[in-house]
Chains A and B, each alone.
Chain A
């Protein structure tokens, strides 16, 4: 036992790979067996990650979730800002510049309107809740865009860890909602062609939610929605902590 603890202690990041791998595997099984694939494994895993973060805070009273428990330090390394930003940049390779150019003005307009709708309605709800400092509002609005844009924005602006966690939770709720409601409303809103799927990906933005929702609607539409959805995170990361933050700062301070 002493030897095992020594190994765990020396190899934090590797322990992190192992723990996250086991968590993702368990979530995939939960997704298939318990939810009949209606909620994507990735959304369940992120939710369970938040639960672990909650438990970590509960047991240690620290601010780094499960990573405050020494043997799980490596999870904090894996989820730290360097690996996070690096992996996000890598997702850009899934987007095709040519395909998006083909969708032309509709794709671009949907992206812009999508980010505007999510950011500012998110900010409005948070403001009505009683939050009024521009950094927190901006992080929450960015979280309404995706669970990636939220923490990237929060980190750029220096938001508190609990606000960043909240923005992730918001993004996860959004992903689950989009996954569930896409097949339910697809016919009603005219989501049936590659062009409309591209616009849909641009409006909704959450790539895992859009991909899972479209897969449940019509698998042929998935790559089209995913292309614009991938741009959404990049555009969100670009304008939420810059232009949108300046707008909020102008209004609220």
Chain B
């Protein structure tokens, strides 16, 4: 049933968010820290476990995959409900911060490949 996949995703999400809240409290900023990252790692590990046990079936996958595919639409909706107008006042900054790191990454990439070939 699809709901099994959805429940597994929800379990990972809730556990991850909880860990994020705890970590936030521990490092003293009192908000969720990396809860989404924890949840992703938990889901990935659960996927491994379920695959090994043979429980990772099509219906279960579909339950999770719906939300996997919904991530772009959700991001579109998020973009549309933000305070873009005041962000635009620093529009050139968006372009610069969007482009300059990409240039650095292109320059760095061949060095990384070469370094790992030599090892």
Contacts and interface: CB of A to CB of B under 8 A. Distances in A.
A79 B79 CA distance: 7
10 contacts: A67-B81, A86-B9, A91-B71, A105-B116, A129-B93, A140-B97, A161-B83, A191-B109, A234-B40, A246-B27
Interface in B20-60: 20, 23-24, 27, 29, 31-41, 43-45, 47-48
Nearest to B116: A106
B116 A93 contact: no
Chain B interface size, as a band, is 35 or more
Contacts of B32: 155-156
Interface of B: 9-10, 12-13, 16-17, 20, 23-24, 27, 29, 31-41, 43-45, 47-48, 61, 64-68, 70-88, 90-91, 93-102, 104-106, 108-110, 112-113, 116
B108 A170 contact: no
Do most interface residues of chain B lie in helix, strand or loop, or is the interface mixed?
A: helix
A136 to B, nearest CB: 10
Given A92-B43, A129-B93, A152 B76 contact: no
B77 A20 contact: yes
A150 to B, nearest CB: 10
Contact of B47 (A47, A97, A189): A97
Interface residues of A, number: 110
A54 to B, nearest CB: 4
Contact of B84 (A42, A129, A156, A165): A165
A76 B81 contact: yes
Contacts of A45: 72, 76
Given A75-B80, A85-B17, 18 more contacts: A23-B76, A46-B76, A49-B77, A49-B80, A65-B80, A65-B84, A83-B70, A85-B35, A86-B10, A95-B44, A97-B44, A156-B34, A162-B83, A169-B87, A189-B110, A196-B113, A239-B34, A242-B34
